[in-house]
Structure 1
Amino acid sequence: MKAKELQDLIDFIAKSGLNKVNIETEEFKISVQREPSYKPVISSVAPTPAPAVAAAPTPAALPAAAAPAPTTPTPATPEAAPAAGSNYQSLKAPMIGTFYRSSSPEAPVFVQVGDLVEKGQVICIIEAMKLFNEIEAEQAGRVVKILVDNATPVEYDQPLFLIEPM
Structure 2
Amino acid sequence: MKYKVTLNGKTYEVEVVEDKAMLLAEYEAIAPQASPEVKAVAEAPAPSAPQNVKEASPASEASSDAVKAPIGGAVLSTIQEGSTVKSGDVVVIIEAMKMENEIVAPKAGTVTKIYVSKGSTVETGAPLFDIK
Q: Normalising by the residue count of structure 1, what TM-score does the alignment of the two structures yield? A: 0.43
Other structure's SS at 2:125 match: coil
**Structure with the larger strand share:** 2
Post-superposition shift, 1:79? 2.4
Q: Which residue of the other structure, out of 71, 75, 85, is the alignment partner of 1:95?
A: 71
Question: Relative to total residues, which structure has the larger helix share, 1 or 2?
Answer: 1
Q: Cα deviation per residue 1:98-152 (whole Å; 9 max; x = unaligned)?
A: 1122xxxxxxxx5211111111111111100101111111111111111112111
Equivalent positions of 1:13-162 (< 5 A) are: 75-76=58-59, 78-80=60-62, 83-84=63-64, 89-101=65-77, 111-162=79-130
TM-score, normalising length from structure 2? 0.53
Counterpart code for 2:102: E
Deviations 1:58-82 (A, max 9, x none): xxxxxxxxxxxxxxxx811x124xx
Deviation at 1:91, TM superposition (A): 1.1
Q: Which runs of 5+ in 1 are unaligned?
A: 1-73, 102-109
CA contact (8 A) 1:79 1:159 kept: no
RMSD over equivalenced CA pairs, Å: 1.6
Tell me the secondary structure at the aligned position of residue 149 of structure 1: coil
- Shift of residue 156, structure 1, vs aligned partner: 0.4
